[in-house]
Amino acid sequence: MQEKLKFYIDGKWVDPVTPKTLEVINPANEEPFAKISMGSKADVDKAVAAARKAFETFSRTTKEERLALLNKIVEVYQKKYADIVQAISMEMGAPLGLSKNAQAAMGIAHVTQAAKILKDYNFEEVKGTTAIVREPVGVVGMITPWNWPINQIACKVAPALAAGCTMVLKPSEIAPMNAMLWAEVMDEAGVPPGVFNLVNGDGPTVGEAMSSHPGIDMMSFTGSTRAGVAVAKASADTVKRVAQELGGKSANIVLDDADLKKAVVGGVMNMMSNSGQSCNAPSRMFVPKAKHDEAASIAKGVAEGIKVGDPFAEGTTMGPVVSEAQFNKIQGLIKKGIDEGATLVTGGLGRPEGMNRGYYVRPTIFANVTNDMTIAREEIFGPVLSILPYETEADAIKMANDTVYGLSGYVQSGSLDHARKVASQLRTGNVHLNGAGVDLNAPFGGYKQSGTGREWGEFGFEEFLEVKAVIGYGEKAA
């Protein structure tokens, strides 16, 4: 049993003010493998005080000093890379290959990207006689999720550091071990005391204390829409900036001129990646009605070829979902799909055959789904794909937009111009055309109840900056 019972505050590993522990569960076998401390408002107060003090000097550092710090973080991160990969697979169930090639890799990619942006960024420009100056927003409270844990830490911490902010991080208590390794990286890289602070805990205690804290200038939150609303409400009394990346129910529109097999295979694999636990997962596949049955047959074959198993076993392509609560939620929504009359093509209730332990879910495909069914409305956050037939392209676009979410969209077409035309009509923050992957320099975030603000690239960097106008800056002295 690993024990990580201290918090990282003001450049030191310190005991919680009030001892309280939580076991971290391995979702592959349902056994505890680590123990962390759960923080309180008093721990948040200490961390915020350290961050406020550090901001006085860190906010005045030069671009060159912060660049050197980011480059050192990359160097130390690389040394701990294997440990980070192991931690992510152990605590949230990602297969080793996914942890190594995507989960942990995204952490280092965001730091590298932040350094590139900082190197060329102009913090000051003169327009007429006024200087427009961009300055760090202040102390940032960060709350990150369990599904892409170090990705979300890095895409907040790296640009905040580059901007000259100081911060307090509350990682998910479900998958906290990678965050402890991240804090070790920050410490070894020489991040000045108080610039980065970590307090473990839950949302109602530590998250609430951070969101309502008068010493925090901005909250950056990634998680469910329900929890995002709570963060925004708690932040309102102190009128702090709130940036949120929340839930999604992304549409994948397969147009009539698309290569059906390629589109469906790619869509299913994208949906099932990370056990379906991605906010931008293409969970609603829209296909022309005449091609619906063929699409369902292709999807069935792909889903049944996925190897579900132990994240550490060779050949595993899909691990468990993260927790018992998540497993039960997914099972309930699969049952809803069956009860409401969707066609269960493959998968369904219970664990995959031969498994009696671990939070493993059958890769599940539903066909003949209508847009009013629960499985088409609610974010399932599991390996469950809904296939919805459509009569006309206009109908597909209308159904795709008929959701409270607006994080990502996907369009498949034999013509790039056709795909672009449809993309322009989707009310989402991201649209992927013909299987295009992520772009680290592109803004990531959503419309509607999928959030406010943007992460990644220059747009994400600028979330951590305030804009000041210095008027008369260019006038000659009287």
Q: Return the closest-CA partner of residue 450 out of 283, 247, 243, 279.
A: 247
Q: Give φ, ψ of 282 to 5 degrees.
A: -80, 75
Amino acid at 409: G
251-433 topology per CATH: Aldehyde Dehydrogenase; Chain A, domain 2 (3.40.309)
At the fourth CATH level, which superfamily is domain 2-246+447-470?
Aldehyde Dehydrogenase; Chain A, domain 1 (3.40.605.10)
Check residue 476 and give its pLDDT.
61
Write the Ramachandran bin of 348: left for phi over 0, alpha for psi from -120 to 50, otherwise beta. left
First to last CA, the chain: 71
- How many angstroms from the chain centroid is the CA of residue 379? 14
Q: 253 near 408, Cβ under 8 Å?
A: no
The domain limits of the chain are: 2-246+447-470, 251-433
Dist CA 13 CA 8 (whole Å)? 5
Q: Give φ, ψ of 236 to 5 degrees.
A: -65, -35
Check residue 478 and give its pLDDT.
46
Query: Which residues form the catalytic set?
Result: 245, 279
Within 10 angstroms of residue 326's Cβ, the number of other Cβ atoms is: 24
Within 10 angstroms of residue 337's Cβ, the number of other Cβ atoms is: 22
pLDDT along the chain (478 residues), means of 10: 96 98 98 98 98 98 98 98 98 97 97 97 95 98 98 98 98 98 98 98 97 98 95 97 96 98 98 97 98 98 98 96 98 98 98 95 98 97 98 98 97 98 98 96 96 96 97 74
